[in-house]
Structure 1
Amino acid sequence: MLTKADLLAQNRAIYLPAISANYANFARNGAFKRKVGGLIPADLDFLDPSNRYFAYPFALYSAGQVIRTPNKLPKACMVAQRDRNETIVLGDSGGFQVSRGTIEFEKDTTARRMLKWMEGVADWSMVMDFPTGGIGPGFMKPHVERLIAEGHDLSAMCKANGQSLDFNACLLQTQINNDQFVAERTAGATGLLNVLQGRNEAESKAWYEAVKHYPFEGIAFAGAHQNHFSLLLRRLYDLHIDGQLQKCAWVHVLGVSTLDIGCLLTKVQRCVREHWGYPDFQISFDSASPFINAANNGMIIGQTLDAYGWTIRTAGIATVGSNDLPLSVSDFCTSKLHRKTDRLGREMIAARTATGNRIGMADLCVGKAKIAGQRDRSGLDVDGSYLLMYHNVQAFVTAHAKAHEVFFGPEQWRIPLDTLSIAGAIDVMFRGEPITSAMGGVVYAPVRDPISHIKRCQIWLDRLAIQRTRPTSRIGYNIGQAA
């Protein structure tokens, strides 16, 4: 079983599945409507360290998906009733939903409600930021008007930092919420992460300078920081130079869970620990992909890990042929993955999970009906959807573990060039430029100006944020070793 202590000891960035509220409730309070391979709803509670199939002690849980009424308290679900000594849950404040109007914003009432909810359910919690991602779609326009009507001088902020009205509305409302969190938090109830937003370097820097003084216990990187490693490294260096990083007991990167970025975040974590001397520095990252995929009839069937790209493979199971129904879920994953990729000559690994070995495709796909002129249709009912979510979580966690084995192992040829380039640039920033000594060995010349190094390597550091439209050239940065 995967225990909290064992995983933390691996010195890895930790993936947090962002749990669906319905799933969390079902695993503790639900009941299957039919027999499903001898499983009971409690078997789906992967936060339970005694789970007989699969236990995983980390997760993200968002107040934004459960708080819809003013007096909503944490429900007696698998998150609220977990063993807090054996698990770690990061609370998301729901600022995304609040800024977009999905949850009504009631000034300090909303922030207070989110804070108190997270204090009751989470070990670490993000402050209620207003994301800059809402600027483009126009979600910040009503908030700009509201803040100006309340007497806030957004124009003065624009003149001071050179950013737009919408950006400064995001920043100002976040500062107001931060002040409230500082004033109203219960000491020791949950560690708070200061959220850093920004869509580019200018916004990221302005945001950082405006919020870096808050006395929170960690940092959450949002916006473009999730896949622009130039931004992430710049802010980490700022935190280091400003003496803030030593106060960060937890660092989270929001809304990203690709295999290559997960490994690169581990690379950053190990470099910070080794070269900057912060032995307890810990990074996590999250996504709701296992649950969203399942909600859309998507099964994680495996992964490809080779120089052409690292991908978690999914297959739609809204329609499943009669010949697949007798297969176990794990055997279906193996069969389907090979059908999808055998003509490409890819390095592929099928997903085999504990529940996937026990239950069959017929346990997932019910309501089988013959439609004239079409394949047999096998739809998922509620029971099947929850079983699929559980399989997907384990498949996702296992995929990241295997990716780390390859990334930090001897098979460097299996790592895509873009990922290797980023790893090499990170390595040089922290360790120094490799040069040949007079004795013929390799020594490292320290980088005197890390920011200049980041600027010089920015085109490579941000490669994973760029939509690739043609094969990558092999002319580029001296990538070194990923490990």
Structure 2
Amino acid sequence: MLTKAGLSAANRAIYLPAISATYADFAKNGRFKRQIASLVPDDLDFLRSGNPYFCYPFGLYSAGQVIRTEAMKPKACMVAQRDRAETIILGDSGGFQVSRGTIEFEKDITARRMLKWMEGVADWSMVLDFPTGGIAAGFMKEHVARLIGEGHDLQAMCKANGQSLDFNACLLQTRINNDQFVAERTHGATGLLNVLQGRNEAESKTWYEAVKHYPFEGIAFAGAHQNHFSLLLRRLVDLHRDGLLHQCDWVHVLGVSTLEIGCLLTKVQRCVREHWGYEHFQISFDSASPFINAAKNGMIVGHMFDEYGWTFRTTNVSTVPAADLPKTVNAFCHAKMARKARSLSRERIAALRPLGNALTMADICPGSSGTSDLDGDSSPLLMHHNVQAFVEAHHRAHEGFFGNESWRIPQDAKIISEMIDILFRGELIPNADGGIDRVPLTDPVRHIDQCEIWLDRLAGQRSRTAAREPDELRYAA
């Protein structure tokens, strides 16, 4: 059984499923309209310790999904009713929805509402940032006009830091929100993560210098930091040099869940702990892909490892052949993964789950008017299955990445891992005795600059998760 203590002790970057509010509500307050084995909705609550089907004590939960007005309060869902001693929830402030107008921005009223909601729900929470991901689509134009109308000199900011009006509007509004969080937070209610945005090195560095002084307990890397390891590593070096990394007990990377990046984040975490001495330094990363796929009738049937890439395999189950309906979910996944030939360097692993032996595909696809269409009970069952499939795939990926089968690791990920290793451990230099000495780098940033093209090789490969996150979600920033 997966436990909070066990996973925390494994010295691994932790995957956080970005839990759907609809799913969280159903697991505690819903009901199945059909008889599905002997299941009740509470069996889908993977945050519940001792759940016989699947227990996973970590997740991300976004205020942007569930709180849009002052009157809204946390629902009595599986997140709000969890055992906080046995689970960890990271709260997302909903900045993506707020900056784009999906949630009306009432300035300090909205910031206060998000802060107090997260203090009541989450162990760790992100400050209310305005993501730079909305700039290209024009979402910041109205905020530029509003801030100028309020008397803020954005032009002076642009002249001082060389960045655009839209970028400085994102930065300024984030700093205003940060100041309010500092003033109005209840200390001890939730640990706050200082969000670092930026689409490139110039923006990332400017943002970091402008917000690094805030007395928060962790860091959340957003924007291009999620898969550009050159940006992530430069900011970690900055935090270390500025003496700020000691206060970062939790570091989160927003909106990425590819198997290679998950393993590389573990590599970074282990290096920081071993070579910089921050023994409590913890990285997490998230995506909503298990829930998004299920909402689109997608079932993750397994994952594939080979030297060219590690990928999830998904099939659309909106209609399933009649011959497959009597099969258990596990048998269906196994058959799907076995249809293509296995090669020496390619391993296909079916998504086999304890619940998959109890459910048939007819339970997932009950049929309607002679077809095998899905109904309202199908979606939460698929979501539960997909979360398990993601968690298990990341576990197996770590076993392969840090085990004895290095030949199976994709070449790009292997090279990035070696470059991270050199950054922290130093270079191997022949000595006068014919041996090899490991010499620390005198200029780590120069090493990052020299390796930037390779460090960023995984950028743009988010589609190799089960699905690309849709534009309207927070994680597209």
**What is the TM-score with the length of structure 2 in the denominator?**
0.95
Where 1:315 maps in the other structure, the secondary structure is strand
Answering whether residue 452 of structure 2 is matched by residue 458 of structure 1, we say yes
Structure 1 range deviating more: 253-262 or 308-317: 308-317
Stretches of structure 1 lacking an aligned partner (at least 5 in a row): 371-376, 469-483
Q: Which residue of 2 aligns with 1:273?
A: 273
C-alpha RMSD over aligned residues = 1.4
Identity fraction in percent? 74
* 2:439 aligned residue (430, 438, 445): 445
Structure 1 equivalent of residue 238 of structure 2: 238
Q: What's the secondary structure of 2:337's corresponding residue? A: helix
Q: Which runs of 5+ in 2 are unaligned?
A: 463-477
1:436 offset after TM fit, Å? 4.0
**Partners of 1:360 and 1:113 in 2: how far apart?**
44
Deviation at 1:68, TM superposition (A): 2.1
TM-score, length of structure 1 as denominator length = 0.94
Q: Indicate the SS of the match to 1:260.
A: helix
**Structure 2 counterpart of 1:426, one-letter code:** I
Q: Tell me, what secondary structure is at the counterpart of 2:47?
A: coil
CA distance, structure 1, for counterparts of residue 341 and residue 380 of structure 2:
27
CA distance in 1, matches of 2:434, 2:253: 40
SS in 1 for 2:79: coil
Residues in 1 aligned to 2:461 and 2:90: alpha-carbon distance in whole angstroms: 30
* Cross-structure match for 1:212: 212
Tell me which residue corresponds to 1:43: 43
Name the counterpart of 2:376. 382
- After TM superposition, the runs of 4+ consecutive aligned structure 1 residues lying more than 6 A away are none
Give the Cα–Cα distance (whole angstroms) in 1 for the partners of residues 333 and 345 of structure 2: 17
Residues 1:413 and 2:407 aligned together:
yes
Corresponding position of 1:347: 347
Matched position secondary structure for 1:464: coil
Once the two structures are TM-superposed, the CA of residue 437 in structure 1 deviates from its matched residue by: 4.3
Matched to 1:428, the amino acid is I
Query: Superposition pairs for residues 309-328 of structure 1, below 5 Å?
Result: 309-328=309-328
Residues 23-60 of structure 1: per-residue CA shift (max 9 Å, x gap): 00110111111111111101000000121111000000
Give the residue type in structure 2 aligned to 1:417.
Q
Give the AA of the match of 1:91. Answer: G
The alpha-carbon deviation at position 449 of structure 1 amounts to 0.3
Report what 1:433 is aligned to: 427
> Hey, what does 2:288 align to over in structure 1?
288
1:23-422 to structure 2, matched below 5 A, reads 23-339=23-339, 346-370=346-370, 377-422=371-416
Q: Please tell me whether the aligned partners of residues 32 and 40 of structure 2 are also in contact (alpha carbons under 8 angstroms).
A: yes
Report the Cα distance in structure 2 between the residues aligned to 1:448 and 1:258, rounded to whole angstroms. 32
Deviation at 1:75, TM superposition (A): 0.5
Q: Which of 415, 424, 428 is the aligned partner of 2:418?
A: 424
How far the C-alpha of 1:308 sits from its partner, in A, is 1.4
Return the offset for 1:346: 3.0
**Cα deviation code 1:77-103 (max 9, x no counterpart):** 000010000000000000000001100
Cα distance change on mapping 1:63 and 1:340 into 2, 3 Å: farther
CA contact (8 A) 2:255 2:286 kept: yes
1:345–1:405: structure 2 CA closer, same or farther, 3 Å change rule? closer
Distance in 1 between the 2:330 and 2:255 partners? 28
Shift of 1:209: 0.2
Q: SS at 2:194's partner residue?
A: strand
- Given that 2:306 and 2:345 are in contact with CA atoms closer than 8 Å, whether structure 1 keeps it comes out as no
Q: 1:474 aligns to what?
A: none
For 1:215, give the aligned amino acid. Answer: P
1:446 aligned partner, one-letter code: P
> 398-407 or 444-453, which moves further after superposition?
444-453
Deviation digits for residues 226-264 of structure 1 (CA, Å, limit 9, x no counterpart): 000000000000000001100011000000000000000
- Say if 1:154 and 1:356 are closer, same or farther in 2 by CA, change over 3 A: same
Compute the displacement of 1:367 (Å): 2.2
- In 2, distance between residues paired with 1:149 and 1:102? 22
Separation in 2, partners of 1:2, 1:407: 20
Look up the equivalent residue of 2:10 and give its one-letter code. Q
Distance 1:239 1:343 in 2: 45
Task: State whether structure 2 residue 6 is matched by structure 1 residue 12.
Answer: no
Cα deviation code 1:164-222 (max 9, x no counterpart)? 00000000000000000011111111000000000000000000000000010000000
* 2-structure distance, mates of 1:345, 1:413: 8
Deviation per residue, 1:295-326 (Å, 9 max, x gap): 00000111111101110111111121111111
- Paired positions, count: 462
Match of 2:158, SS? helix
Give me the whole-angstrom Cα distance separating, in 2, the residues matched to 1:223 and 1:420.
24
* Cα distance, 1:467 vs structure 2: 6.1
CA distance in 1, matches of 2:381, 2:432: 61
